[in-house]
Copies of this chain bind each other. A is one copy, B any other.
Amino acid sequence: MERVPVLKIGDLLLVSIQVDMQDQTALALQEDLADRIVTTGCHGVIIDITGLDIVDSFVGRMLSSIASISRVLDAETVVVGMRPAVAITLVELGLSLDGIRTALNVELGMALLAESRADQTVELDLGFDLDGHSPATS
């Protein structure tokens, strides 16, 4: 069985899907990714699908469940590198990849994740201030 490697780059995990996904490969990828999120403490997952000519409903569901698993583990998922033809086929199949964020390429995906992480940090800071622990009130 082929395994899709999960690469750690800074605070992100990168998965480049190139092989046809079978049940076993998809399950193994989900497990590997969940393990790596927990062991590395990464908060972002980028899934590159440049290598895929076809995204069928099975792969669509797999992407959705990877995104859901990551979310539960406090990591955000961005799917990058979708080809125009793949996007057209997806919509024709009635799959809209709900709940999955996308970006054109890995760099834009990294920027998106960094931005959304920064937003979360700002929210945390605000919560911290509202609790009355800010320097002004202490």
Which residues from chain A sit less than 8 Å from chain B, CB to CB? 2-5, 7-10, 14, 16, 18-19, 48, 50-51, 81, 105-107, 110
Residues on B with beta carbons closer than 8 Å to the beta carbon of A14: 7, 14, 106
A10→B107 contact, CB < 8 A: yes
- Residues of chain B within 8 A of A4, CB atoms compared: 18, 51
Are the CB atoms of B7 and A50 closer together than 8 Å?
Answer: yes
Nearest B residue to A18, CB-CB:
B18
17 extra interface residue pairs, beta carbon distance < 8 Å, beyond A5-B48, A8-B107: A2-B51, A3-B51, A4-B18, A5-B18, A7-B14, A7-B16, A7-B50, A7-B81, A7-B105, A8-B105, A9-B106, A10-B107, A14-B14, A16-B16, A16-B18, A18-B19, A19-B19
Residue of A2, A16, A81, A107 with most chain B CB atoms under a 10 A cut-off: A16
Q: How far is the CB of A108 from chain B (nearest CB, A)?
A: 10
Q: List 25 A-B contacts (CB under 8 A).
A: A2-B18, A2-B51, A3-B51, A4-B18, A4-B51, A5-B16, A5-B48, A5-B50, A5-B81, A7-B16, A7-B48, A7-B81, A7-B106, A8-B105, A8-B106, A9-B9, A9-B107, A9-B110, A10-B107, A14-B14, A14-B106, A16-B18, A18-B18, A18-B19, A19-B19
